[in-house]
């Protein structure tokens, strides 16, 4: 379904990679951009030393290592964007702009680029500067209060529901823009 669509993925750990996994599962070419340290999800090791979260969310993707603080690597990133249909990033608001590869620079190299910024608390507002995690989102939404043991005591969910739902929502919205 998405054969011929190229996605540049500047995300890490779970919500963003889950978004672009959905694209790759539908046939898009996804190029994952990682820092020299790699996606932190690589550190969630299984018994064989493989990052199970990383492997599960990044199958069928290509990968490139770029130090986005380096001007030469920023130029490489812009060249990738120039040949793409979709960019997805999951940094805090303003980070991509400081790196020179935010939306304004992306549309200079690719006028019709679809640019999805997946943040925890939006681009503006009193919480926008905060990093977010699944447990935070579930708590703020009230969903966390629904997880209790047999005695009514709260329990921490073992699944990252908000992260996965965030990825699904981001992929759905981005795909809607693609067919617009």
Render pLDDT for 68-86 as a digit per residue (tens, 0 to 9): 999 999 999 999 999 999 9
More confident residue, 161 or 64: 64
Active-site residue, selected from the candidate residues 39, 73, 134, 163: 163
- pLDDT grade, residue 46 (50/70/90)? low
**What is the predicted pLDDT for the residue at 45?**
65
CA proximity to 109, closest of 117, 122, 100, 120: 100
pTM of the model: 0.91
pLDDT attached to residue 133: 85
Q: Which residues contact 47 (CB under 8 A, 6 or more apart)?
A: none
| pLDDT over 70 at 42, yes or no | yes
Residue of 66, 70, 77 lying closest to 39 (CA atoms): 66
Question: Is 60 in contact with 48 (CB distance < 8 Å)?
Answer: no
| 157 pLDDT above the threshold of 90 | no
For residues 87-111, average pLDDT: 97
Asked if the model's pLDDT at residue 146 lies above 70, the reply is yes
Q: Is there a catalytic annotation at residue 163?
A: yes
Instruction: Report whether pLDDT(47) > 70.
Output: no
Amino acid 115: pLDDT: 98
Q: So what's the pLDDT on residue 48?
A: 66
CA 146 from centre of chain: 27
């Amino acid at each position: 379904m998405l054969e011929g669509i190229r996605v540049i993925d500047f995300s890490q750990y779970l919500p963003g990679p889950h978004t672009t996994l959905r694209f790759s599962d539908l046939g898009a070419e996804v190029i994952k951009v990682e820092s020299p340290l790699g996606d932190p999800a690589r550190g969630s090791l299984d018994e064989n030393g493989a990052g199970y979260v990383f492997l599960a969310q990044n199958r069928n993707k290509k990968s490139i290592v770029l130090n986005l603080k380096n001007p030469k690597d920023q130029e490489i990133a812009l060249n990738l964007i120039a040949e793409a249909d979709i960019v997805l990033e999951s940094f805090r608001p303003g980070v991509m702009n400081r790196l020179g590869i935010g939306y304004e620079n992306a549309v200079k190299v690719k006028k019709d680029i679809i640019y999805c910024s997946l943040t925890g608390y939006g681009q503006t507002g009193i919480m926008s500067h905060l990093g977010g995690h699944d447990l935070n989102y579930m708590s703020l939404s009230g969903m966390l209060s629904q997880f209790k043991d047999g005695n009514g005591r709260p329990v921490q969910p073992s699944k990252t529901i908000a992260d996965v739902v965030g990825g699904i929502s981001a992929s759905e919205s981005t795909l809607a823009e693609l067919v617009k």
